[in-house]
Chain A
Amino acid sequence: MRNIFLFIRRYFNFVFFVVLQVVALYILFHYNKFHEAVFSGVANELTGNVGGKYTNIANYFKLKSANDQLAKENVELRNLVFSNFTRPDTSQKLVQDSVPYDTLGHFRKYLWRGARVVNNSVSLPNNTLTIARGENQGVHRNMGVISANGVVGVVINTSSNYAVVMSLLHRQSKISASLKKTGETGQVSWDGSSPLYITLRHIPKSAPIAKGDSVVTSAYASYFPPGILIGTIIDVVDDESSSFYTLRLKPATNFFNVQYVSVVENLLKDEQARLEEETNKINQ
């Protein structure tokens, strides 16, 4: 017994070193579970706060490009405004009201909320953004995040006033995508090498593909409305042994200067998930 104590005293530094290593590695490899702990919420508030102050200053340097983007988006939206379309005078006047159910049975599926980006990384193997909008402002996990130009990512963690978004440039990011032209569905992911390119897989070789084709979110992506631009094809990596294409995309969002994003909530997601789960139970 005495020898054990002597041993521990002699190698106390080493034991302490091992303990700290184990703690650090435990936190690292239990990242997602640990994230649910309270402490992480507090840390989020703190780093979000510091990030907000920094971004307030940094945003001045990007005002010009942000204005350009917003002006472009405004033009696009104006083109969609109802008054741009005419119809013969014989038709009746169409009245749109704000009640979720209209007389034709349309009801709201997606709800959009604006948010400011306060923290952003592009150079790490797993990149995230922090936005200044959290639980108190209606942002929850698994909501889609979209910038003026296209898809940004998915919300993975929230505190009361901030939320952390897993961007497309994250190794675990997987988004269901389809070709805008023909509608074949595949999956967009990132291989972690260059933040300028993302990868689209599982597109069958029967699909006609040209450089410059648009890739949009598919109707199967439950976090995003269908038809939101993800990127454009810049390169086809031909793999002879596979009957699927591997395509390199240029992301539509410029992750280097994204400042304002919208958070999209799919109001029917839970209903769909519940139905699918119940069906799975029956099938088993």
Chain B
Amino acid sequence: MSDLVRNTIRFVLFILVQYYVLFQIRPLHQFVVPYIYYLYVLWLPFSMGRMSLMLVSFLFGLSLDYFTQTPGLHAAACVMIAYLRSFVVNILIPQEGAEQNYKSPSPVSMGWAPYAIYVLVLTLLHHIYLVLLEWLQFGSFLFFLGKVLATTGISLMLVLITELLFFRKEKFRTNTA
């Protein structure tokens, strides 16, 4: 399957799962909202330019926004993690040139520990920004802090489950073959 087809299918699936499964769950607590959709942005290939990365993320966030009737909210958060993604990757990639040997960020291509940090940092940034935008319109500081932490915890658990369930095989690519 080509990268384009694979990512188009992921685009649709992530939005449908987020809206029709995760947003339909009865809330356990006001702080706990399960988010997984932004994993799409984290899984986009290394080879994409920063601009196209941001543009795709913007469209992705906006598509979810039209389901939740909050135009711009998720789009803003997605664009931010798309912009910051490459900085985080550059810091965390184990050796020079690893991003040329593998297609996209995954536990195999980056190693479990750097990948976990990559997910943790971007998840935290995404949720801080998302909840901040909600908070600007209403809410208290305790609400902000509690929601960021609780939501990040749930999201990390969901990401772990997704990574284990849908294990992505990453081929090691060299220019000799």
Contact = CB atoms under 8 A, between A and B. Distances in A.
Say whether A and B bind each other: yes
Interface of A: 12-14, 16-17, 20-21, 23-29, 31, 34-35, 40, 43-44, 46-47, 50-51, 54, 119-126, 128, 164, 171, 192-195, 256
A122 B27 contact: yes
Contacts of A50: 16
B119 interface: no
18 contacts: A13-B50, A20-B54, A21-B79, A21-B80, A24-B79, A27-B72, A31-B71, A35-B71, A40-B71, A44-B66, A47-B66, A51-B67, A119-B67, A121-B23, A123-B23, A125-B138, A126-B69, A256-B26
A125 B58 contact: no
Given A24-B72, A27-B72, A46-B66, A171 B137 contact: yes
Given A21-B80, A24-B75, A128 B69 contact: yes
Contact of B61 (A24, A26, A35): A24
B177 to A, nearest CB: 32
B11 to A, nearest CB: 14
Nearest to A28: B72
A43 B70 CA distance: 12
Prevailing SS type, chain B contact patch: helix
B133 interface: yes
A6 B67 CA distance: 41
A44 B58 CA distance: 19
B134 A125 contact: yes
Interface string B129-149: 000011001110000000000
A26 B80 CA distance: 15
Nearest to A24: B76
Given A46-B66, A124-B68, A21 B76 contact: yes
A193 to B, nearest CB: 4
Contact of A28 (B30, B71, B80): B71
A28 B26 contact: no
A123 B79 contact: no
Contact of A16 (B23, B54, B68): B54
Nearest to B80: A21
Contacts of B62: 24
Interface in B7-48: 16, 20, 23-27, 30, 33
A194 B30 contact: yes
B51 interface: yes
A193 B30 CA distance: 5
Nearest to A193: B30
B73 interface: yes
A46 B15 CA distance: 14
B167 interface: no
Contacts of A24: 58, 61-62, 72-73, 75-76, 79
A17 B54 contact: yes
B68 A13 contact: no
Contacts of A120: 24
Contacts of B112: none
A171 B27 contact: no
B172 interface: no
A205 to B, nearest CB: 26
Given A20-B75, A25-B133, A192-B30, 6 more contacts: A16-B50, A25-B76, A29-B72, A121-B23, A121-B68, A171-B138
A29 B76 CA distance: 12
B76 A13 contact: no
Contact of A20 (B20, B30, B70, B79): B79
Nearest to A164: B69
Contacts of A121: 23-24, 68
B76 A28 contact: yes
B103 to A, nearest CB: 22
Contact of A192 (B25, B66, B138): B138
Contacts of B71: 27-28, 31, 34-35, 40
Nearest to A13: B50
Nearest to B133: A28
10 closest residue pairs by CB, A with B: A28-B72, A27-B72, A24-B76, A24-B75, A24-B72, A43-B66, A17-B83, A193-B30, A123-B27, A27-B71
